[in-house]
Structure 1
C-alpha cells in the first residue's frame, strides 16, 4: 500500500510539537544560569540588592585626625582633588569600578550607580588599594594586604569588638577595616560577594570589594543620580560630613574625565602635594614656602653666570623659608629651603621636559607646555618613587622630583 500524502495543514501541524520543544529547550538554558548577555555578564553574576538600607556603616574614620588612609594629611581635601589626574587609577581598579556599575545597573535599575562614585570611595579609603605600601596585583588583589588600625575606641576611633575571629583582619580582639574599600568585617559578612568568581569573597580583592560597595550604596531607596541621594548613601557608608563632601567632589571630577590610568603592581608615595600646600603647616609657613619656591624656580631659570671662586662671599640659601616640613637653623617656622638642581644638570631630566626644550622659543611652546609638564611630573614621581619607596625620606624625594623637573 502506497504512502499517504499529507495535506498542507497536516504538514504544518506536524511542525508544532518540534517548535514547542525548541522553545522549551531555550527556556531551560535561560533558567540554568548558563545564558550570558552580550556584554559578557552572566545572570549568575548579577547580585541581589537588599530592599532595606544597611544600618551599620561599611567603614569608619580610622585616625585621630579623622582622615581615611587614602588621604595624605599633608595634602588635605584640596590637595587630594588637585592631584587626581597625576595620581592615576590602577588598571584593575578602574575595571572593577566599571564592572560594579554594570552589575548594579542590572541588579537595580532605579539605583543608577555610577562607577565614579565607587571610584571616589576607593580613592579616599585606600588610594585605590595603594595605601600603607600596598599595590594591586594583576588579579586586583591588594598585596601584601590593607588593614586599618584596631577599632578599640582609643584616640577618637570607634570601638568595635571582634566579629570574625580574626579571619579577615587577623585580630581576634577588635575589628580592623580591611581591603581597598575598608570594610568592617561585620558589615562585609552581610554585603560581601564573590564578584571575580574565584570561589572566595575576599575584601582584599578590588573586584569583590567594589561590587560589594555598590550593593551597599544601592540597598534601600534612592536614586544615586541625584546628589542628595548619593550624599545620603555615602554618609551611611562612612558617617562623616567631611568624608561625604570629599567623596562627592572626587566623584564629580572623575565623571568629568579628571583621571588617568596607571599600571597595576605599583604603590605610590603618600606625599601628594608641595610644601606650599602642606596642610600640616601654618598658613604663614605655606606662604613662605610658596615664596621660596618661586624664588628658587626663578633662580634656576635665570642664565648661569661663571663666577670666580671666593671664600669671602659664600652662597646663601634663599630667604623666606623653604618647601619642606623641617626647620632651617634660625628660621623657627618649621620650613626648610627648596632644594635647587645642580648647576651642571641639564635643564630637562624627563621626556616631557626634553620635548618642551625642543620647541622652546617656537610658537608651539605655550601650547605644549601644559601637556609636557604633566608628562614630566608623572615621570618624575614614578622614577623618584622607585628610588625612594613611599616617598621617604621626604626631603630627598622632593629634591629628586625637583631636579628631574628642572
Structure 2
C-alpha cells in the first residue's frame, strides 16, 4: 500500500523537488504533536478515531461551492490537471493520509480521497474568491449559504450561536472541507499544532475529514469502502459519484501542484458546455462557435490559397525548378504550389523543375482536362498532371 502511494506521489509532483518536499513533510510530522478529536489536547502524535461511524453528515450541500454548476461533472473532471492543487492543500491531504494511517491502519485512507472532497467542496480552499495562504488558511474565509430549508437546501437550525459560521439563526457549512458546525465540533482536530481547531485551516480540516471518514469499520482503499464513507460525509449519490471519479483521477496522477495565495476562475470555457442551458441551447451555441471559427469564404481559402499557394509555390517552384537547374524538391514545390494556387484561385503557376522541363502546371492541367478529366476529381487530375510534369 505504502509503496504504491509513493509512486503516485513521485509521478505527480514534478513541480517540487521530491527530496525537499518529503524532508519538510517528515520533519513537520516528527516535530509536531496533534490534538485528539475530543475537546482536550492529546500528547500523542496521531488523532483519536472513533470506533463507531458518525450518523450525522459532515456536509449537506446539494451543490457544493467548489463545483461550477454550469460545467457539470464532465467539466470538473476534465480540468483537474489545469485547475491544480495549491501546495498547502496538497501537503494537508498527504499529512491526513499519514496521520490516519498511524491512527487506524485498517482504514487505509488515501490522500486522493480527501483531496477529491476538498476539490468538490471548495476547489481546495479557493471557492467564492478565496485563496489558500502558505500556512493553509482560506482567506477571507469560506461560508456556505444558510441552511434554511429554502430552494432544496437542508434545514439546520443554529448549533454554535454563530461562533463558527457567523450565523446565529441557521447553520452554514464552513471552511475548505465545508463542515457543518455541529459535525465540526465532533471531529475537530488541531492538526498543525498552532493552538486552534480552525475549520478554515486546511491542515485541521483535512485531518478532521480523515477522522470522519475512518470512523467505524471499513477499508477506504476499496471502491466499496470509499463509497460508503463518502456517502456518510454527504448523503447525495451524485456527490459520491463525483468524488470517486475525482479521487480516481488524482490517484492516476491527473493533477498538478500550483502556488498558494491564488484564487481560480470558473472552469467553464464555452457556452456549448454550459449545463444550465438546455440541450438545444448548447447545440445552438456549438454551431455558432463552429461558424465563428470558420475562415471567411474567398479570404483564407481564396486569397491565401491563391496568393500563397499560387505565387509562392508557382514562383519558387516554377522559377527555381523550371529554369533547368532546379532539384526534384523544387519541382515538387512548384507542383504543390500550383495545386494550392488552383484551389485558391491563384493565377501564377509553377513549372515542373527537376530536369529543367519548360512544361508548366497550367499547360499540364490543360492537357489533362482535354483528355476528359474533371477538376472535381482532384486525385485523378493531380495524378495526370504529375505524370506529365515528371
TM range (shorter): 0.5 to 0.7
Evaluate the alpha carbon distance shift between residue 300 and residue 277 of structure 1 in structure 2; reply closer, same or farther with a 3 A threshold.
farther
Match of 2:230 in 1: 234
Match of 2:58 in 1: 58
Instruction: Name the stretch that deviates more: 70-79 or 39-48.
Output: 39-48
Match of 1:274 in 2: 270
Evaluate the alpha carbon distance shift between residue 217 and residue 298 of structure 1 in structure 2; reply closer, same or farther with a 3 A threshold.
same
CA distance in structure 2 between the partners assigned to 1:38 and 1:200 by the alignment:
21
CA distance in structure 2 between the partners assigned to 1:46 and 1:205 by the alignment:
18
1:305: Cα distance to partner?
Answer: 7.9
CA distance in structure 1 between the partners assigned to 2:197 and 2:247 by the alignment:
26
Match of 2:259 in 1: 263
1:306: Cα distance to partner?
Answer: 7.8
Evaluate the alpha carbon distance shift between residue 273 and residue 67 of structure 1 in structure 2; reply closer, same or farther with a 3 A threshold.
farther
Residue 243 of structure 1 pairs with residue 243 of structure 2: no
Residue 101 of structure 1 pairs with residue 97 of structure 2: yes
Higher Cα Rg, which structure:
2
Q: Give the TM-score normalised by the residue count of structure 2.
A: 0.65
Alignment of 1:3-402 (within 5 A): 40-41=29-30, 44-61=44-61, 66-299=62-295, 303=300
User: Unmatched 5+ residue regions in structure 1?
Assistant: 1-35, 308-406
CA distance in structure 1 between the partners assigned to 2:202 and 2:240 by the alignment:
21
CA distance in structure 2 between the partners assigned to 1:195 and 1:115 by the alignment:
15
Contact 2:79 2:267 in 1 (8 A): no
Contact 1:131 1:270 in 2 (8 A): no
1:169: Cα distance to partner?
Answer: 0.6
SS at 2:100's partner residue? helix
Contact 1:84 1:258 in 2 (8 A): yes
CA distance in structure 2 between the partners assigned to 1:45 and 1:203 by the alignment:
20
Evaluate the alpha carbon distance shift between residue 39 and residue 209 of structure 1 in structure 2; reply closer, same or farther with a 3 A threshold.
closer
1:294: Cα distance to partner?
Answer: 2.6
CA distance in structure 1 between the partners assigned to 2:239 and 2:187 by the alignment:
21
Tell me how many residue pairs correspond in the alignment. 268
Q: Report the aligned-residue RMSD.
A: 2.2
SS at 2:189's partner residue? coil
Contact 2:147 2:156 in 1 (8 A): yes
Task: Compare the two structures and name the one with the higher helix fraction.
Answer: 2
Structure 1: which 4+ aligned runs deviate by more than 3 Å? 36-43, 300-307
